[in-house]
Structure formats: structure tokens, C-alpha cells
């Protein structure tokens, strides 16, 4: 992710053009400014413009026409997106762990072509950069390798996390941050701090299967809230739930929720913070995907609007900086002291050398440029995958259009049972995640989640086509 100033400029320029093209501001076939014209307008070199246009060509967003210039590439007619979910009004017990465990096990089996996991592939990151950070940490802090560590986490890492949170609009005191083993541990600790077995937790519908597993393990009940695939949680439905159900916590991913990729508007984020404060209900906010958001507004955390300490913010850099350094973090607001006691009595502290390595990576000047490159790369993948879905999946298919990230949620015709489809795919060594994994209801039995964070080559493109053909055989 190390980058020279010229690299940063062309990536910034490419992203500033890619966003309006994907949003439809520039229409297909529209001529873009000439290289010389854009260089003068943006006060950059001709080489910078050429590099930016090359990135957009690679992403299949623009095309060069001999002796004519650059034009917005023709795009296939987009499929409609799924409708707002309609879960039952009552909370339900949770039982999804066995299905999820099988999918995740096969998703990491090299003998399978996997779209089942929501994990970025190693090729998206600089292994050498991470190795150097680990080596420096071992060299500078080798004495800690033989020491038993205690406390909230390395002070330098907590300061780095607090600085990073400024980009989400949050002013967090480093002393309030607790470093954890993962974002999921952070979320688990938050829920343990504010609930007891049998309590009701409100969450998106559909939602991440790992959240349902946490609820299952803590013997909590899930109340799914209607969720729009583009704008997320229905605040009206959540308020009605507050008024009619004894909700003890809300669990949400306001930015690029998994599996549908919804991102709440800034107004709704503010409204959510006010709503949980009004009813005195803690909100556990997962910000793990915020750095994948293509738009600045979607990177702003609900926590930035919190004035009462009801928002417990949880994050990690395992999706964006170094997947192998599985550290998380949390600021639990008014429940901070209770969470610390729970952390100390369960997993204790992490390894200082790993914490220092992550702090090193977060402090490097190429970090933001790396985020931009990561966003651009996966956005191009999703564009290409969506084209394949439009061409090869059965009539009536709907697909999400998330503003970032590397996940697509596909709603197939109701005649398609996604469990049967998943089994048919497995017979051909292809892994998909059936919709049943993401809800305690049967509402999504005709849906699948496809993750495009891992390797993307012709074998995977052919596999997407094959998934569509198999789905068509069930339609």
C-alpha cells in the first residue's frame, strides 16, 4: 500500500470519475474530457490522467476510441434490486450454526471455487509490507515476547485507532478503546455486557450469519427489522418495535451491511442515534466495512452522532489492512467498565508484537491510497460479476447494487430453493452461501450471497456462469 504522491493523485482522480460513472451521472457513450483538457482542469500531469484513465479502462467503466478520445463504456441493463425485507413481527430463537460452519469450512478449501466467504483474498494486500511491519515490531519489542501482557491493549495501537476513527466523524478517547481478538469478539462482549439469556436483540433482515451464531451461543432471541437493500434499517419499523417489544439491544452494520450491502443515509444514522438514546437501548455498531464505502457520507459512523453513550462501536482492520492480523477493537460507551471486566475474565490481552505491527501499518503514509486502490479493485469485480449475473441467471433474478464492498445478494425466482442450488454447486466444487444462513425465518430461501473478495480469474467467471445455469434449471 506504499504510494508515491503521483500514485495517490491518479488513484484519487480515477475514483473521482468512477463514482459518478457508476451512479449514472455520466451516461453510457458520453465523451469524457481529453487527456490534456482534464490535466489542465485538475492541475495534474498528462501522465497522471493517462494512469487514471487506464484504471477506469481496466474497471470497464470507460473505453478508448481511436482518434476520438475516451467515452463512458456501454453498460448492460441492470437487474432490479431486491425489495425491502418483510420479517415476522415477533422475535425468534436462533439455530443456524451447523449450516454456516459447513459453508465456511468449504469456502476455505482450496479444492473448491468459493464465493461463500466474505473475506478479501491475500492477493489484494502486500504480504511484504505486512512482513516488514511484523519484523520491525519483533525487533523493537522483542522483550514483550517473554512477558505476560495485561491491560486494554497497546497504547500506540489505541491512539492509531482513535486517529482512524476521526475519518468516521468520531472523537474517541484512546483510553476508552479496548483491543480485542476480532470484531466478532468485540460484538460478543458488547452483547454480553447489556443482555442476559432470553433477551431480544433487534437486527437487520437479512443479517450476517455470524451475528446469529453469537445470539445462538448467548441464548438471545432475534427480532429482524425490515431492511431496504440500499438504505438499510427501517427506522419507522424499529421505533414500532421499541414501542411493542422489550428490546434490550440493537445490532447493526450501517455501512455495507452483510449480506445485502445496504448503507444508511447520514440523516438515518443521526436518527438511529437519537432513537436508541430516546429508548435507552444500546446500539452495537459494526464499522468493519466503513473503509470500503465509495462515498464519504457512508463512512460516517452512527457513533459520531451519539451524545449519551448509547452507541458501542466495534471495528477491525482484517478486511482492509491485514487479514492475518485478526485484531479488533471496541469503545463500549457507558458500558465500558463492564466490558473490560468481561474481557479480562475471558480472553485477556493480545500479543503486543502483533498490536505494534498493526499500529505501524496504520501509521504508514500510503494507507489511504491503499484503501482507494482496494475500493477500486473490488468495485471493478462487482461490476463484472453483475454483468455475468444479468446475462446468465434466470429471468426474474434481482441483485443488489452496494456502494462499495465485495458482496452481492441475489434474489432468485421463488421456485429456486437456494439450499438445493448450493448442493448442486457443491457437486461441481463451487461454494455459495444460501439465504437461509442469514435469517431465522424462511424468507430468504430463494436467495444466495456471493462474495468476490478472493481470487478473480476466468475460472471464477466461468463458475458464476455455471451458478446461473444451475439456478435456471431450478427456475
Q: Domain holding 430: CATH number? A: 3.90.1150.10
274 in a structural domain? yes
What is the residue range of 451's domain? 97-124+368-474
Neighbours of 241 (CB within 10 A): 23
Looking up residue 293, the CATH number of its domain turns out to be 3.40.640.10
Let me know if residue 144 belongs to a domain.
no
Q: 311 and 188, same structural domain?
A: yes
Task: Please state, in angstroms and as integers, the Cα–Cα distance from residue 317 to each residue in 297, 314, 332, following that order.
Answer: 20, 11, 18
Q: Rounded distance, CA 411 to CA 82, Å?
A: 6
Q: Which three cell numbers stand for residue 339?
A: 466490558
> Are the CB atoms for 229 and 407 separated by under 8 Å?
no
- What's the confidence (pLDDT) of residue 6? 56
Quick one: cell of 424?
Answer: 448442486
Residue 83 lies in a domain: no
Is the residue at 184 inside a domain? yes
Among 270, 161, 277, 230, residue whose Cα is nearest residue 404:
230
Residue 245 falls inside a structural domain: yes
Distance in angstroms (rounded) separating the CA atoms of residues 110 and 361: 29
Task: Give the pLDDT of residue 118.
Answer: 83
> Is the Cβ–Cβ distance between 204 and 176 less than 8 Å?
no
Q: What is the CATH number of the domain that holds 30?
A: 1.10.10.10
**Residue 17 φ then ψ, to 5°:** -90, -35
Residue after which a domain boundary falls, among 55, 72, 89: 72
Please report the pLDDT score of residue 372 as a whole number: 83
Please list, residue by residue across 242-263, b when 16 or more beta carbons sit within 10 angstroms of its beta carbon and e when fewer do: beeeebbbbbbbbbbbbbbbbb
pLDDT of residue 357: 94
Residue 271 sits in the same domain as residue 209? yes
Domain annotation covers residue 56: yes
- Are residues 295 and 185 part of one domain? yes
The length of the chain is 475
Tell me which DSSP letter residue 383 carries: H
Cβ-Cβ contacts under 8 Å for 401 (sequence gap 6 or more): 78, 81, 230, 261, 386
* Residue 221 and residue 118 share a domain: no
Residue with cell string 473503509: 291
Residues 220 and 294 in one domain: yes
Same domain, 171 and 290: yes
Please state the domain count of the chain. 3
**Phi-psi map region of 148: left, alpha, beta (phi>0 left; psi -120 to 50 alpha):** beta
Which residues have a Cβ under 8 Å from the Cβ of 105 and sit 6 or more positions away? none
What is the model's pLDDT at position 119? 83
How many Å is the Cα radius of gyration of the chain? Answer: 22
Would you say residue 444 lies in a domain? Answer: yes
Q: Among 370, 329, 452, which residue's Cα sits nearest to residue 129?
A: 370
pLDDT score, position 392: 95
CA–CA separation, 16 and 22 (whole Å) = 11
Domain end position, chosen among 303, 319, 350: 350
Q: pLDDT by residue for the chain (475 residues), tens digit each?
A: 444 455 578 878 888 888 888 777 787 788 989 989 998 988 899 989 888 888 888 777 888 887 788 988 876 556 888 988 989 888 878 776 677 777 778 777 888 999 988 888 888 888 899 999 999 989 888 887 777 777 789 999 999 999 999 999 999 999 999 999 999 999 999 999 999 999 999 999 999 999 999 999 999 999 999 999 999 999 999 999 999 999 999 999 999 999 999 999 999 999 999 999 999 999 999 999 999 998 888 899 999 999 999 999 999 999 999 888 889 999 999 999 999 999 988 888 888 899 999 999 999 988 888 888 888 888 888 988 999 999 999 999 999 999 889 999 999 999 999 999 999 999 999 999 999 999 999 999 999 999 999 889 999 999 999 999 999 998 7
What pLDDT does residue 4 have?
Answer: 46
The answer as to whether 464 is a domain residue is: yes
Phi and psi at residue 22, to the nearest 5°: -65, -30
Are 377 and 343 part of one and the same domain?
Answer: no
Question: Which residue's C-alpha cell is 476466468?
Answer: 458
Q: Does a cis peptide bond (omega within 30 degrees of 0) precede residue 206?
A: yes
Query: Does one domain contain both 210 and 317?
Result: yes
185 and 120 share one domain: no
Long-range Cβ contact pairs of 275-279 (< 8 A, separation 24 or more): 275/235, 275/238, 275/239, 275/242, 276/250, 276/310, 276/311, 277/306, 277/307, 277/308, 277/310, 279/242, 279/247
End-to-end CA distance of the chain: 44
Q: What is the pLDDT of residue 77?
A: 57
Q: Are 125 and 116 in contact (CB under 8 A)?
A: no
Same domain, 159 and 106: no
Same domain, 103 and 171: no
Instruction: Based on the fold, state whether residues 237 and 114 are members of the same structural domain.
Output: no
Amino acid at each position: 500500500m506504499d504510494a508515491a504522491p503521483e500514485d495517490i493523485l491518479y488513484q484519487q482522480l480515477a475514483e473521482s470519475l468512477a463514482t459518478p460513472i457508476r451512479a449514472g451521472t455520466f451516461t453510457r457513450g458520453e465523451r469524457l474530457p481529453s487527456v490534456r483538457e482534464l490535466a489542465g482542469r485538475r492541475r495534474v500531469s498528462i501522465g497522471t490522467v493517462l494512469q487514471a484513465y487506464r484504471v477506469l479502462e481496466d474497471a470497464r467503466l470507460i473505453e478508448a476510441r481511436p482518434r476520438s478520445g475516451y467515452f463512458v463504456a456501454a453498460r448492460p441493463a441492470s437487474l432490479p434490486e431486491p425489495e425491502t425485507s418483510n420479517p415476522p413481527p415477533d422475535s425468534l430463537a436462533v439455530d443456524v450454526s451447523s449450516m454456516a460452519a459447513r459453508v465456511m469450512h468449504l469456502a476455505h478449501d482450496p479444492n473448491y471455487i468459493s464465493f461463500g466467504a466474505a473475506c478479501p483474498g491475500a492477493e489484494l494486500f502486500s504480504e511484504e509490507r505486512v512482513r516488514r511491519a511484523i519484523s520491525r515490531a519483533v525487533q523493537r519489542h522483542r522483550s514483550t515476547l517473554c512477558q505476560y501482557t495485561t491491560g486494554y491493549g497497546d497504547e500506540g495501537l489505541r491512539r492509531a485507532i482513535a486517529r482512524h476513527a476521526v475519518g468516521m466523524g468520531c472523537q474517541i478517547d484512546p483510553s476508552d478503546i479496548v483491543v480485542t481478538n476480532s470484531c466478532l469478539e468485540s460484538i460478543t462482549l458488547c452483547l454480553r455486557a447489556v443482555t442476559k439469556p432470553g433477551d431480544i436483540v433487534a437486527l437487520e433482515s437479512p443479517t450476517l450469519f455470524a451475528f446469529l451464531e453469537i445470539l445462538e451461543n448467548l441464548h438471545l432471541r432475534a427480532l429482524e427489522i425490515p431492511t431496504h437493500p440500499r438504505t438499510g434499517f427501517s427506522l419507522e419499523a424499529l421505533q414500532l418495535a421499541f414501542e411493542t417489544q422489550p428490546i434490550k439491544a440493537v445490532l447493526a452494520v450501517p455501512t455495507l451491511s452483510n449480506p445485502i450491502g445496504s448503507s444508511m443515509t447520514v440523516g438515518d444514522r443521526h436518527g438511529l442515534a437519537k432513537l436508541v438514546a430516546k429508548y435507552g437501548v444500546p446500539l452495537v455498531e459494526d464499522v468493519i466495512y466503513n473503509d470500503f464505502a465509495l462515498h464519504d457520507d457512508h463512512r460516517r459512523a452512527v457513533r459520531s452522532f451519539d451524545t449519551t453513550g448509547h452507541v458501542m462501536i466495534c471495528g477491525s482492520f482484517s478486511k482492509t489492512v491485514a487479514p492475518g492480523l485478526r485484531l479488533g477493537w471496541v469503545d463500549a460507551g457507558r458500558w465500558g467498565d463492564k466490558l473490560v471486566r468481561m474481557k479480562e475474565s475471558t480472553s485477556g490481552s493480545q500479543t503486543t508484537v502483533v498490536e505494534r505491527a498493526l499500529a505501524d501499518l496504520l501509521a504508514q503514509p500510503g494507507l489511504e491510497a491503499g484503501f482507494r486502490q482496494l475500493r477500486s479493485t473490488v468495485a471493478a469485480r462487482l461490476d463484472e460479476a453483475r454483468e455475468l449475473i444479468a446475462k446468465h441467471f434466470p429471468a426474474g433474478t434481482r441483485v443488489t447494487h452496494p456502494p462499495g464492498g465485495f458482496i452481492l445478494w441475489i434474489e432468485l425466482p421463488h421456485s429456486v430453493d437456494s439450499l438445493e442450488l448450493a448442493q448442486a454447486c457443491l457437486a461441481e466444487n463451487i461454494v455459495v452461501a444460501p439465504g437461509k444462513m442469514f435469517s431465522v425465518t424462511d424468507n430468504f430461501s430463494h436467495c444466495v450471497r456471493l462474495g468476490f473478495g478472493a481470487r478473480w480469474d476466468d475460472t471464477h467467471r466461468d463458475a458464476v456462469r455455471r451458478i446461473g445455469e444451475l439456478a435456471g434449471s431450478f427456475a
